[in-house]
Amino acid sequence: MSNPESPRRPSTGAAPETSAQKIARLEEENARLREENAWLRQQNARLEEHVARLVERIEELERRLGLNSQNSGKPPSSDGLKKPKSKRRTRSLRGKSGRKPGGQPGHKGKTLRRSDHPDRVKDHVPSSCKGCGSSLSDAAKAGTPVARQVFDLPEPRPLKVTEHRAHAKCCGHCGTVTRAAFPDGVSAPVQYGPRIAGVAVYLQHAHFLPEDRLSQVMAELFGAPVTAATLATMSERAAERLRDAALHIQDLAAGTARVKHMDETGFRIGGQTQWLHVVCTPLLAAYRVSGKRGALLSGVSGIVVHDHWKPYFAMEGVEHSLCNAHHLRELQALVDIEGEAWARRMQRLLRRANRAARIALDKDIAVPARLVALIERRYDDIIAGALAFHESQPPFSPGKRKKRRKRRIGHNLALRLRDRKSAVLRFLTDLEVGFTNNEAERDLRMMKLRQKISGGFRSVQGAENFAILRSIITTARKQGRNIIDALMSPSDRLIATVKCA
């Protein structure tokens, strides 16, 4: 008997399916399912790859959000107004020294000193007795007076006007009339003198006063209402006069000096991004304008301290020293964001090595060879641990156009510190080499301030004039010279007196 609950197939009148037909149908259906399964596997692999890329992108964006001026090269202005209440606004990368803040024992302070030859003396004599009120006009003086000195600026005085008169004389023999020549620089019926021009150029290019405000300052302080056009002409003439001196400073810094610092920054010229390069030493600073960031100065020799930007390593005939301030910031980012323990250990080692180098420099001795060897071994151990850690991590998926897999930030930094070990630790074995590239960064920092105050330049010529004048100003300041006198001097006088070391 048939099961009453089982469905009954309707009669189609067709012949029953044979075993061969059933097998063929099942094989066809199996092939279709296999093909569909393969397509689903491909889709799943593509989705997994896409998810992996999205996860990497999220991690990258989260890392960007975690970067600030303390753990990257971002300026403090990029931190914004919202500061976490639990963190200090500023944080030193030097670490705790255990000493109290402020001047340390042995530090030479600076204060206002008494003058042995005051310009004016005012005597203050009491007129009545503070005890009984009697007149003291005829009383004798008691003891020596107590003196206090006040340093102040004199009242602005009007400009001094010097009239040059070129007289003519008639020769008694031939009757020729000869007129005397005017001094060099006296070329117009009415003009401003070299000191007014020196002060104007100093205020504009050393303190970045815009031309309109500088015109007001000159009128209010000196009674010289110099127009903006005249100020621009003063800068152009000063730059042209000092061009040879600026080139001489560049040759000294790039070639003669044994250790030099190099860096570059972008600024705007005519609405386009151009580059300002600097090569400097503790006594020299030379600026140069270039349309390309990678157009580095030629003819450089000696040891170059820089920020491990790749084109610097293509320079021929030089040795390299890397800026460890950059390394400390990058390591701090790994501590703050990724939490990599090796980064903290490397930070601590670099700080201790820097402290050892500074102590040796203060004592005018070399860092002991045993201490250098110990630091290098510890350095190698930390790098080995960092590489082992990163090689044990699951690899990133390769990008669409990349042939090799992407490495993590910490992995790349560890590889760079391993490959550039001699440049990273050069400050230990050569005490003339600094721990950082702060010399160049300080010299460039004022350029960004100028850009914030006055914006960019309208022409390449204006930017080149600025670079020439800043070379003279910064070099004069480093060498303790009067900057206004330097801006007033001819090139040959500066070339003869500028110091290299």
pLDDT tens profile 250-278: 999 998 999 999 999 988 888 888 999 99
Question: Residue 418 has what DSSP assignment?
Answer: H
Question: 489 pLDDT exceeds 90?
Answer: yes
Q: At 361, which amino acid appears?
A: L
Among the listed residues 288, 291, 272, the one whose alpha carbon sits nearest the alpha carbon of residue 280: 288
Whole-number Å distance between alpha carbons of 111 and 95: 30
pLDDT by residue (tens digit) across 2-24?
454 444 555 555 678 888 888 88
- Average the pLDDT over 104-131 and give the result: 85
* Exposure b/e, 242-275, CB count within 10 A at least 16 = b: bbebbbbbbebbbeebebbbbbbbebebeeeebb
Lowest mean pLDDT of 82-86, 337-341, 375-379, 474-478, name the range. 82-86
H helix runs in 313-437, sequence order? 324-333, 341-363, 369-391, 409-419, 421-424, 426-429
Highest mean pLDDT among 122-131, 182-191, 236-245, 451-460: 236-245
Q: How far is CA 321 from CA 11, 103, 218, 285, in A?
A: 93, 30, 45, 18
**Do β-strands 285-290 and 302-306 pair in parallel, antiparallel, or remain unpaired?**
unpaired
Question: 32 pLDDT exceeds 80?
Answer: yes
The dihedral of CA 210, 216, 219, 222: what is its sign?
A: negative
Q: How far is CA 425 from CA 73, 208, 322, 357, 429, in A?
A: 21, 38, 8, 10, 8
User: Which conformational region is residue 332 in: left (phi greater than 0), alpha (psi within -120 to 50 degrees), or beta?
Assistant: alpha
* Exposure b/e, 412-441, CB count within 10 A at least 16 = b: ebbebbeebeebbbbbbebeebbbbbebbb
The dihedral of CA 422, 427, 433, 435: what is its sign?
A: positive
Among the listed residues 482, 10, 72, the one whose alpha carbon sits nearest the alpha carbon of residue 307: 72
Q: At 242, which amino acid appears?
A: L
Question: 436 pLDDT exceeds 50?
Answer: yes
Q: Please give the backbone phi and psi of residue 170, each rounded to the nearest 5 degrees, phi first.
A: -100, 130
Domain boundaries, the chain: 191-299+457-501, 324-395+406-436
Q: What is the pLDDT of residue 89?
A: 41
H helix runs in 308-340, sequence order? 324-333
Residue 276: strand, helix, or coil? strand
Q: How far is CA 26 from CA 19, 21, 35, in A?
A: 10, 9, 14
Q: What share of the chain has pLDDT > 90, as a percent?
A: 49
Q: What is the pLDDT of residue 96?
A: 62
Q: What is the pLDDT of residue 133?
A: 84
Question: 384 pLDDT exceeds 90?
Answer: yes
Q: Please give the backbone phi and psi of residue 35, each rounded to the nearest 5 degrees, phi first.
A: -65, -40
**Do β-strands 285-290 and 318-322 pair in parallel, antiparallel, or remain unpaired?**
unpaired
Q: What is the pLDDT of residue 478?
A: 95
Whole-number Å distance between alpha carbons of 471 and 284: 8
Lowest mean pLDDT of 25-34, 100-109, 121-130, 450-459, name the range. 100-109
Whole-number Å distance between alpha carbons of 333 and 346: 13
* H helices, E strands: number in the chain: 14, 7
Match 């890392």 to its residue by tokens: 63
The per-residue pLDDT of the chain, averaged, comes to 86
pLDDT by residue (tens digit) across 387-434?
999 888 887 666 555 566 678 888 999 999 999 999 999 999 999 999
Question: 129 pLDDT exceeds 70?
Answer: yes
Lowest mean pLDDT of 5-9, 71-75, 132-136, 326-330, name the range. 5-9
Q: What is the pLDDT of residue 122?
A: 93
Among the listed residues 103, 108, 79, the one whose alpha carbon sits nearest the alpha carbon of residue 91: 79
Question: 234 pLDDT exceeds 90?
Answer: yes
Q: In what order do the strands lie in the sheet with 318-322?
A: 285-290, 272-280, 259-269, 302-306, 318-322
> Within 13 Å, how many C-alpha atoms sit on residue 108's CB side?
0
Structure tokens at 36: 């569909």
Grade residue 302 by pLDDT with cuts at 50, 70 and 90.
very high
> Within 13 Å, how many C-alpha atoms sit on residue 215's CB side?
10
